[in-house]
Structure 1
Amino acid sequence: MENISLMGLHCHIGSQIFEIQPYIEAVNVMMKFASIIKKEFEADIPEIDFGGGFGIYYSDGDSPLPKKVIAESITDCVKKNADIYNLKRPCILVEPGRSIIGNAGTTLYNVGAIKNIPGIRKYVIVDGGMTDNIRPALYRAKYEAAVANRMNSSDCEVVTIAGKCCESGDILVKDINMPKVNTGDIISIFSTGAYGLSMSSNYNGIPKPCVVLVNDGGSYVISKRETYDEIIENDIIPDELKRI
Structure 2
Amino acid sequence: AEKLMALVAEVKEKLDISISHVDLGGGIGIPYKPGEKELQPEMVAERVVSVVRRFVKEHGLEEPVLVFEPGRYLVADAGILLARVGYIKERLGMPTWISVDAGMNALIRPALYGAYHHIELANKLDQKNDVVVNVAGPLCESGDFLGKGRKLPRAEQGDLAVIFDVGAYGIVMSSQHTAQPRPAMVLVNGDKAEIIRRRETFEDLTRLDRVPGWLE
TM-score by length of 1: 0.83
Q: 1:156 to 1:32 in 2, by over 3 A?
A: closer
**Residue type of the alignment partner of 2:101:** D
1:32 aligns to 2:6 (yes or no): yes
Q: How many residues align?
A: 216
1:140 aligns to 2:114 (yes or no): yes
Percent identity of the aligned residues?
A: 36
Equivalent position to 1:57, from 31, 34, 43: 31
**Residue type of the alignment partner of 1:106:** I
| Superposed displacement of residue 61, structure 1 | 7.2
Alignment check: 8 A CA contact 1:54 1:64 kept:
no
| Superposed displacement of residue 218, structure 1 | 1.6
Q: Secondary structure at the match of 1:195?
A: coil
Q: Secondary structure at the match of 1:164?
A: coil
Unaligned runs of 5+ in 2: none
Residues 15-164 of structure 1 correspond to what in structure 2 (within 5 A)?
27-59=1-33, 62-154=36-128, 156-164=130-138
| Superposed displacement of residue 166, structure 1 | 1.8
Task: Tell me the residue number matched to 1:195.
Answer: 169
| Superposed displacement of residue 155, structure 1 | 6.9
Larger RCO, structures 1/2 (Cα 8 Å, 6+ apart): 2
| Superposed displacement of residue 237, structure 1 | 0.5
Q: Secondary structure at the match of 1:31?
A: helix
Equivalent position to 2:151, from 161, 168, 177: 177
RMSD over aligned Cα, in angstroms? 1.6
Unaligned runs of 5+ in 1: 1-26
Residues 222-237 of structure 1 correspond to what in structure 2 (within 5 A)?
222-237=196-211
| Superposed displacement of residue 60, structure 1 | 5.1
Equivalent-residue separation in structure 2 for 1:104 and 1:42 (angstroms): 45
Instruction: Flag as ranges the 4+ runs of structure 1 deviating above 6 A.
Output: none
**Residue type of the alignment partner of 2:107:** N
CA offsets 1:116-151 (integer angstroms, 9 cap, x no match) = 123333111111101011111121222211111221
